[in-house]
């Protein structure tokens, strides 16, 4: 399983890489679960991430195709890299237009020079987010040609992923996503202990922000904390459930 670490600036990239992050994710935590960094900051992060390291980019929660196009414009001018680029999109603001919005991002990504992989974001606390249920997001991702699905938590003060989604239900959801041939990513206010549990599940990526920082999710990425999280992936907890 690969470790994704979210950074809010180029200054945090070195610590994430030195600690062992497999994927660097550009995200502004002060702007919500999927807060997008500015175009300037994204370009700075892009230039700081080694070419061989995949880059992930949060695009926020666009309400319309026009808002999506504006978010995707931030990708203009990014450097081509041999490693993959991912874009993450939330559906909490899309309402009945969730499928159309997801189809639009897949189409836009196919026409973008860097051709990023599209990851649809589901929320374990989807009722609070006003978003589609994780099972619905998985179905929409498969139907629209997205490349993967991430399940996260929308609220960051109401418990972690397992507070909202029991491990057996999460395992069943993962199996649904994998059966559709999609990449599976897990996140959601995970502690080091939470990462150990996630490491025992058949997912591809685990994402963290707060656990990798000194000072919580709006703090600063710490090399030593990233290294501890990387080690936790090898020290997985197998629940047997």
CA pair distance 6, 209, nearest whole angstrom: 5
Name the catalytic one among 63, 88, 156, 230. Answer: 88
Report the residue count for the chain: 241
Inter-CA distances, 34 with 30, 152, 181, Å: 10, 10, 24
Q: How many CA atoms lie within 13 A of 163 on its CB side?
A: 15
Confirm whether 88 is a catalytic residue: yes
For the chain, the distance separating the N- and C-terminal CA atoms, rounded to the nearest angstrom, is 20
Confirm whether 230 is a catalytic residue: no
What is the four-CA torsion angle of 30, 32, 38, 41, rounded to 10 degrees?
60
Name the catalytic one among 27, 63, 156, 230. Answer: 27
The answer to whether 125 and 155 have CB atoms below 8 angstroms apart is yes
Q: Among all residues, which ones are annotated catalytic?
A: 27, 88
């Amino acid at each position: 399983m690969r470790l994704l670490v979210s950074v809010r600036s180029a200054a945090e990239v070195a610590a994430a890489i030195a600690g062992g992050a497999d994927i660097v994710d550009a995200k502004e935590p002060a702007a919500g679960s999927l807060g997008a960094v500015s175009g300037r900051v994204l370009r700075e992060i892009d230039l700081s991430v080694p070419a061989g390291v995949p880059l992930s980019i949060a695009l926020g929660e666009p309400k319309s195709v026009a808002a999506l196009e504006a978010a995707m414009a931030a990708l203009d001018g990014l450097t081509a890299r041999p490693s993959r680029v991912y874009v993450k999109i939330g559906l909490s603001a899309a309402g009945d237009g969730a499928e159309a919005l997801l189809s639009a991002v897949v189409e836009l990504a196919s026409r973008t020079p860097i051709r990023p992989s599209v990851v649809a974001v589901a929320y374990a606390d989807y009722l609070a987010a006003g978003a589609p249920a994780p099972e619905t997001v998985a179905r929409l991702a498969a139907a629209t040609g997205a490349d993967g699905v991430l399940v996260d938590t929308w609220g960051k003060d109401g418990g972690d992923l397992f507070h909202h989604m029991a491990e057996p239900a999460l395992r069943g959801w993962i199996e649904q996503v994998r059966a559709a041939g999609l990449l599976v990513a897990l996140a959601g206010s995970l502690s080091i202990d939470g990462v150990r549990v996630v490491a025992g599940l058949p997912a591809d990526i685990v994402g963290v922000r707060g656990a990798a920082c000194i000072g919580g999710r709006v703090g600063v990425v710490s090399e030593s904390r990233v290294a501890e999280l990387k080690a936790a992936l090898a020290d997985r907890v197998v629940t047997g459930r």
